[in-house]
Chains A and B, each alone.
Chain A
Amino acid sequence: MTDRPTVWEEMPKINRDLLAPLQTTTWTYFLWVGVLSCLVAAGAGAWTFQIQTGIGQTDLHHPIFWGSYIASFVFWIGVSHSGTFISGVLRLTNAEWRRPVTRLAELMTVVALLVTALFVFYHLGRVWRFYYLIPYPNQRELWPNFRSPLMWDATAIFTYATASTIYIYLPLIPDFALARDRIHGWRKTVYRWLAIGWHGSQAQWRTLEMAIRIITPLIVMVMISVHSIVGFDFGMALVPAWHSTIFAPYFVVGAVHSGLGMVMIGLYVLRKVYHLHNYVRTEHFEKLGKLLLVTTLLLAYMYFAEQLTVWYGKVPDHIAVQHSLLYGAYAVPFWFMVSCIYVIPLLTLVWPRFRQWPVGLMIVGLIINIGMYIERMLIIVPPLAHPRLSFQWDEYFPSLIEFVILVGTLALALLLYSLAVKFVPVISIWEEKLGKKHAPKR
């Protein structure tokens, strides 16, 4: 016998607690949404201006044709890996502690993918020609060139976006049914549609569990392939400092690194705002901290192996890029980046007591993401700025229009996430109950 209430007795409370964010909204939320909407409007205005006046509004120029938009594209794709990694890999390994974390990480995946797609459009000089990427023949019966890694990207990201949406939706069905019976107004109709007649029969549970069991390993495989393909965008090019075999695995690990950092931020903020301390506990931060330590070490190892190989080889084209990073034009952002994604996480996360400090972990997550964004810029810009003929060497810094678009898009991501939190339970309610049922009795 135990004095602790059973999960069955706790169910009404769990339902109430986890549906509360959907039912109560404070004025600070509206203020937050208002501020974000203004920033999004500014970003939209800047993009409209760029479309009207041309891509020359950016600082992109010969030989640096890829800049902040592609760096942001790579960064947000990386963030999108948070959900799939946390949810998929931890589900596969049957890690019970994943339960309060999976949904908010999956939401990040979907939001990040939406934002990622935008950067492709920003980067297109003539955005109205976007349909050239869709596989159908033009009037001369010419199809898109699938031999180009950019078409691999388009295919992989479409697959990943579709699969991630399915992956977040399936476990949401029982929670939508729960919300359908407890939330009124226009949302009730939407929940009714989304719950597709869920009533909790064993036949439905069996189908749902089987589908999740089938899709989970598939989406993990898609996750790895997508960021590998983004890495191939660079690795396949004969550009000094890009043409490397390490890019695909390095990009995958880097994506998980920044994704975990972002989850740490989201976890802390949502726990604080919606008083989820009973569900998101210190142990969850601690376990995520350990994962973050692993990715820090793995990423540092890969980065070191790559830089050491370049340094030892002393191939002139490649070493020019490395010199610009170590003590040239990009030395300040390079060393700042090294501190942010390797040194600071390593020096903090190795301490068990630090891993039990949610605020500290949130700050480390933030620092990692700032560092990872700079790292994406440093992967793209210095190699392009140092082509083989040195008279072409040049520099790049994002223009004001680019900055406004970047800030507007970041605001859009935050806005979409904030709106989603009001529509979707941030913790999977039925999985939380299941976790409590499986928890060992004290």
Chain B
Amino acid sequence: MPQNADTAERHVVLGFFDPTTSLPPVLDQIRNQGIPDIFMEILSPLPLETALLNKPVRIPLYRLTIIGGIVGIGVGIFFAAGTALLFPLVTGGKPIVSIPVVGIISYETMMLMAIAVTFVATAINIAFVQQSGLRNDPRIDEGSVGLSIQVGNDTAKAHSISRLLQQAGASEVEIRTIASDS
């Protein structure tokens, strides 16, 4: 296990590569060192076309959107039909609950809740997805691709991974030591 909960500090190895470098062989070599994909991360200024790391997705975002939309329909029905029934005032001889109105209001609240829930889930994902030790590096935005590997408190392994990255063609390699959260 690269992570040890009892330790006071952890190491993160960060290598910077030229974007033309083929990363899959490098990732395979790191996996061969016993480090699973969840302890690796690729940093880049642009989204990569193919997912190089196998990381489980906890809840697909679209499911939350659908849940938000369904809740929104409920809110809309409450506003357009529920509030009319709470105070059943007949106006112009028309029915208390107007189905087209319920449709229009529910549509808007459905969209509102679906978009709002998607946004909140996205913001949480972006803000809290970060591995410990990962932070933005201006070199990434200038056109490098970063490969970050968490190696727990194993200093020897950190150096071994660092050498591996250098051999794989990393232009720069850093070992960052981070105080453990535990």
Contact = CB atoms under 8 A, between A and B. Distances in A.
Interface of A: 6-12, 15, 135, 137, 141-147, 151-152, 155-156, 158-159, 162-163, 166-167, 169-170, 173-174, 177-178, 180-182, 195-211, 214-215, 218-219, 221-222, 225, 229, 430, 433-434, 437
A106 to B, nearest CB: 14
Contact of B83 (A146, A156, A159): A146
A202 B115 contact: no
18 contacts: A137-B86, A146-B105, A147-B94, A152-B108, A155-B105, A158-B112, A159-B115, A181-B138, A196-B127, A197-B127, A202-B41, A203-B129, A204-B126, A207-B125, A211-B122, A225-B108, A225-B111, A229-B108
Contact of A207 (B20, B98, B126): B126
Contacts of A203: 41, 55, 125, 129
Give the dominant DSSP class at A's interface. Answer: helix
B8 interface: no
B142 A202 contact: no
A166 B113 CA distance: 12
A196 B143 CA distance: 21
Contacts of A433: 45-46
B136 A229 contact: no
A254 to B, nearest CB: 20
A145 B116 CA distance: 25
Given A200-B140, A433-B45, A146 B127 contact: no
Nearest to A136: B83
A200 B141 contact: yes
Given A199-B134, A202-B51, A152 B101 contact: yes
B45 A221 contact: no
Given A199-B136, A201-B43, A205-B48, A143 B83 contact: yes
B83 A181 contact: no
Interface residues of B, number: 62
Given A143-B87, A200-B43, A229 B119 contact: no
Interface-centre pick from A197, A208, A225 (highest chain B CB count, 10 A)? A197
B129 A430 contact: no
Interface string B41-76: 111111110011101000001100100000000000
Given A162-B112, A197-B126, A198-B136, 4 more contacts: A8-B143, A142-B87, A146-B84, A219-B115
B83 A135 contact: yes
Given A11-B45, A147-B98, A206-B51, A215 B115 contact: yes
Nearest to B55: A203
Nearest to A135: B79
Interface string B105-145: 10111011011101101110111111100111110111100
B32 interface: no
A219 to B, nearest CB: 7
